[in-house]
Structure 1
Amino acid sequence: MLDGGAGPFVGRMVQLVDNLIERVFPRLRRRALYAYPIGIAIFALAALARMGLSRWLQDTVPFLTFFLAILVTALVAGTGPALLVATASFFFSWYFFLPGPGWGEITPATVVALGSFAVLSFFIIAVVHLLNRKVESLMNERARNEALFQDSALGELQLEQLNIELRHRLKNTFAVIAGLVSQSARYSRDVDGFAQSLAGRLSAMGNAMDLIATRSFVGASLRELIAETLKPLVPPGTQRFEMGGPDTIIPGDVASALALTLHELGTNAIKYGAWSDARGTVSAKWTLSKIDEDEMSFELVWDERGGPRVSAPERRGLGTTLIDSGFPSAQVEREFNEQGVRCRMVAVLKQTTTRRTRGRAASLY
């Protein structure tokens, strides 16, 4: 339990973070005179940190501190300064660490490392740019709602719900992005593997965020989420993927977690399972059953057929962790047999209807 002094302190810290995200950062991004010096300062700190960690970090991860610098710069200062930091990081890492120091001979490994860094940096900047635009769009919507409903009790409730959802969604999204960057770097053996795994996970989360944003951050269509997440992974050919089940609206947090889990299952199918050859197929079937007025049982079965024989992984990586425990409060069972992988997920989805959304949907889960 917080004592008398800790409670007000925590409240002030929460208020400070809200003020930074909603007011300070958008203003900085609109003022190049402040945004670019901030980006340069962040790059300088990242460069000093990377040089200081050289004795502990292997040369296979020369960009570790710079990914975080690019992410923070894009959030705080905007897209232009983030591109500047990415460019400076590119040449700094090339000169000092690949093979370093000095420009040295350009090897295929150097080209792959620098190319992966450039692509992934651009991807991170693009995702954060999209999120920044969504945040400012929501803030503009809030301003319009304030003008329209300032004398209405219903309008005040809508504004409060929008503010809460905006803060909650923004904090969770950037926390997940930071966690994915850190954990992907931890479990990756080289820069190329790190870039590919992180890019795919960020893409899956970005698709989920886009679906959530189209419904004013209320949630995402379950059917659309599964289809859009797996669409880039399904190999060419007829009847390689089959999906089926009732549609519903799932909360934003659940949608992001489910998208990451399905992405890992699809990626594993491409590498080792049914989609690794020309004949294997995958089906994703789910059911929904009502428990009471506030909860619904959700069960999804991922079933691979016709691929090579699979076995349980010897090493537990981030992908395995996301499948087994990435979906909140879900029970996950996986079977490895001659037919392929069979994964069964069971979870309870809570109803998320509010007065603001009941007019558009009878029940949202």
Structure 2
Amino acid sequence: MPDFPRTLVRPLRGKLSGYAVAIALAAVATLVRQVSDHLLPPGFPFLTFFPAVIVTAFVAGRGPGALCGVLSLLSSWYFFIPPANTFAISWPVTTALLFFAAVVIVDILLIDGLQQRQEKLVESQRQLAAMADQQTLLFQELQHRVANNLASVSSMLRIQRRQIERAPETALAVLESADQRIELMGRVHRQLYDPAARELALPEQIENVVAQAQDVAAASHVTVVVDAVDARLAIDRMMTLMLLITEVLNNSIKHAFPEGSAGEVRLNLDRIASGRLRLTIADNGRGLPAEQGEMPRHRGLGNAITKGFATQLGGTITVDGSNGVTTIVEFPED
């Protein structure tokens, strides 16, 4: 964090110390005026009091400055305005006291205003520095996430290339699937790294991502019900979670509800223990064949991607295909 200017900013912040300085400087000004009385021509009763008020307002603020001004006025009136050692009043005395009071008020207000503007300037500089640090951190996170996403896309394309090599007739479908995944990944990436969306709660973020997944898959026939706790996740972990959700949801839309048949997917994110979360995505579709109920080795690209995202979250994944398909991922919150 850079050093910020402290010019005109009060060095004394405590009320007690500020008022003590006001009293002390008023007393010193009185003493100096008495000592130098024989050196000054008549008509300068306030000479040493103006600096005392200005210094007090500068170092201690408006309140102590006003106190020093009042004490200075009383002291100069009693000791140095004829007749001395009295509080005699007359038009000339009244005029002199009003002049002193006016100058003191202007000085105090001017100094206080400058100090307040300086404090606002310092606070603005702090906020700008904090924003610059945040932007730098965000840019670093963005670079890291882009690199990870490109690596994911590369892995996905390698897997799909092997699928095409084994069954060339599926090339068009495989490429279409890859195109949808990449488009959805880009949408999720833009959503999570949009500064306006950074303050959204996690349930709202999930609902937005679900809407994106349905839009990309043209799945208006599938109803998705979201019930999620507002967990606090770092942006990179949130990105991984959202991509996992979209992949599981995409698999359900494609395979659980054939030929555009209506269906429902329920998405729950619960806090199961201190620092651990459970994501459950369950559809009421046709489920898996009986031999595939225990997460088979070769379930295709969707299974590999989902498992990879769960591993990135530091969690475990289980799939039950006996009644629709239910995917459960448990992972640490931090």
Normalising by structure 2, what TM-score? 0.50
TM-score of the superposition, structure 1-length normalised? Answer: 0.46
Q: Which has the larger radius of gyration?
A: 2
